Copies of this chain bind each other. A is one copy, B any other.
Amino acid sequence: MATLSDVARRAGVSPATASRVINGSSKPVTDELRERVLAAVAELQYVPNAHAQLLARSHRSAVGVIVHDVSDPYFAEITRGLQRVATDQGRLLMICNSYRDPDRELEYVELLRGHQVAALILAGSGYHDEAFTRQLNEKLAAYEATGGRVAVIGRHEHSGDAVMPDNRAGGYLAGRELCGLGHRAIGVVAGPRILTTTTDRLAGLRQALTEQGRELPERRIRYAEFDRDGGAEATARLLDADPELTAIVALNDSMAIGALATLRTRGLAVPQQVSVVGFDDMPIARDVTPALTTVRLPLVDMGVRAMSLVLGAGAPAPRVEVLGAELVRRDTAGPVPRPGRATAPRARRGDTAS
């Protein structure tokens, strides 16, 4: 690889001058030398060694992000928001997938610290795990002690800047909607119970049912992986245990899609026999058939805000931004079927392509 001194030598200047030209330093350089340097750069196809630059420069610029999986639409949307702000500010993003493995999450914090990121964003759900939380907080504290900025998305036991989707309110919305449609036997297809996302959404849901004088017993909840196959499998277990179910709440849209697959396999019409409500409103939600009724979270905006928090001026007190959830009515939630009468399939509501 050509180095800066190669360029300098070829241009007949000192490395200092070459560096100044290449970085557009404020220190003035004669046009003639400038041109000679630029020519040498082009001829040698010179690209500065990023590591050497980062070592020599004082200020850190990159931002680290830890998500569960960028290819999961939930995180893809959040990342889009993060990226937008980062790009605007000329920051490089280092994105790490923890695949919901707490140990890997810890490792990535170290790794990103080692890479001298200016800030760190934890975009995955928090865990109900004291030992892990303590370790994570130690590492984050060490990082913050050296001037690193941290923001979390979701409920983590971390005192600092945070963007919180209102999962509880979202759960409540889903529950109220189904109650309003007359459902009593409501099953829940939940993500891993160790995630705060799961428990928060569940808590909101439970509150809605309780307010309506209904209840949500544990036997109507099935925990599984937070993805399509987890949803399919949990739905199957739920139906096996309780064939009377008239509605299913899936705690994210991927699981909801799995639930729809299982219902289809079993010949249960949605929403005529069983209603389904998802969570997140990922883009695909409107394209499944019937289009998914779900709870929308402002995912992109969450990313935008988290990045803004972390790149903005440090506030004395930790800032917490709660972002509301919103019910999106589509075609998978309908009135509870009248008992004792065989339900005939009705025409599906039309959907709009846009």
**Residue ranges of A at the interface with B (Cβ–Cβ < 8 Å):** 1-2, 45, 47-55, 70-71, 73, 76-77, 79-80, 83, 92, 94-95, 97, 110-111, 113-116, 138-139, 142, 146, 228-229, 232, 236, 257-258, 260-262, 264-265, 267, 283-284, 286-289, 350-354
Closest chain-B Cβ to A13's Cβ sits at a distance in Å of 21
Copies in the complex: 2
By a CB distance below 8 angstroms, the chain B residues around A111 are 50, 92
Cβ-defined contact, B114 with A50, below 8 A: yes
B114 touches A48 (CB 8 A): yes
- Determine how close the nearest CB of chain B comes to the CB of A159; give it in whole angstroms: 18
Contact yes or no, A55 B49, CB < 8 A: yes
Q: Is the CB of A261 within 8 A of B353?
A: yes
Contact of A228 among B47, B116, B236, B283 (CB under 8 A): B283
- Shortest distance in angstroms between A78's beta carbon and chain B's nearest beta carbon? 10
A228-B283, A264-B353, A265-B352 given as contacts; is B139 within 8 A of A49 (CB)? no
**Besides A51-B52, A51-B55, A232-B354, 4 new A-B residue pairs in contact (Cβ under 8 A), listed by A number:** A47-B114, A71-B76, A95-B95, A260-B287
Which residues of B lie under 8 Å from residue A352 when comparing CB positions?
265
- Asked if A228 and B287 sit within 8 Å, CB to CB, the answer is yes
Residues of B with C-beta under 8 A to A1: 116, 146
The answer to whether A353 touches B288, judged by C-beta atoms less than 8 angstroms apart, is: no
Q: List residues of chain B with CB within 8 A of the CB of A350.
A: 264-265, 267
Cα distance, A268 to B115, chains bound together (Å): 54
Task: Name the B residues within 8 Å of A232 (CB-CB).
Answer: 353-354
A199 to B54, CA, bound (A): 42
Whether A113 contacts B71 by the Cβ 8 Å rule is no
Separation of A45 and B110 alpha carbons in the complex (Å): 10
Nearest-CB residue, chain B, relative to A351: B264
